[in-house]
Amino acid sequence: MLSHPATARKGNLIACAGMTLAIIGTIFIHDEKVQPMVYTLILSAIGVGTIAGWMTAKKVQMTKMPELVSIFNGMGGACAALISLIEFQHMGHEAMPVTPEGGMDLTGLVEMLKNMANQGGMSHTAKLAMIMAGLVIGSVSFAGSIIAWAKLNGTLNKPIRLPQYNITNNILMLGLFVYAFLIVNGNVEGIMHVYLLFAAALLYGVMFVLPIGGADMPVVISLLNSFTGLAAACGGFMYNNKAMLTGGILVGSAGTLLTLVMCKAMNRPLSNVIFGAFGAGSSGAAAGRELTGNIKEISITDAAVLMNYSKKVIIVPGYGLAVAQAQHVIHELENILEERGVEVKYAIHPVAGRMPGHMNVLLAESNVSYDKLVEMEEINPEFSNTDVVLVVGANDVVNPAAHNDPASPIFGMPILDVENAKNIIVNKRSMNAGYAGIENELFYNPKNSMLFGDAKSALTKLVSELKAMD
Q: Looking at the annotation, which residues are catalytic?
A: 396
- Give the Cα separation of 239 and 193 in Å (integer): 23
The 3-class secondary structure across 110-127, one letter per residue, is HHHHHHHHCHHHCCHHHH
Minimal CA–CA distance to 236: which of 251, 222, 221? Answer: 251
Give the Å distances, CA to CA, from 283 to 18, 168, 408: 44, 20, 11
Are the beta carbons of 315 and 421 closer than 8 angstroms? no
The 3-class secondary structure across 249-304, one letter per residue, is HHHHHHHHHHHHHHHHHHCCCHHHHHCCCCCCCCCCCCCCCCCCCCCCECCHHHHH
Minimal CA–CA distance to 349: which of 311, 389, 386? Answer: 389
Enumerate residues 6+ apart whose C-beta is below 8 A from 303.
425, 449, 451, 462, 465
**Residue 182 exposed, middle or buried by CB count within 10 Å (0-12, 13-18, 19+):** middle
Are the beta carbons of 433 and 439 closer than 8 angstroms? yes
Q: How many CB atoms lie within 10 A of CB 287?
A: 20
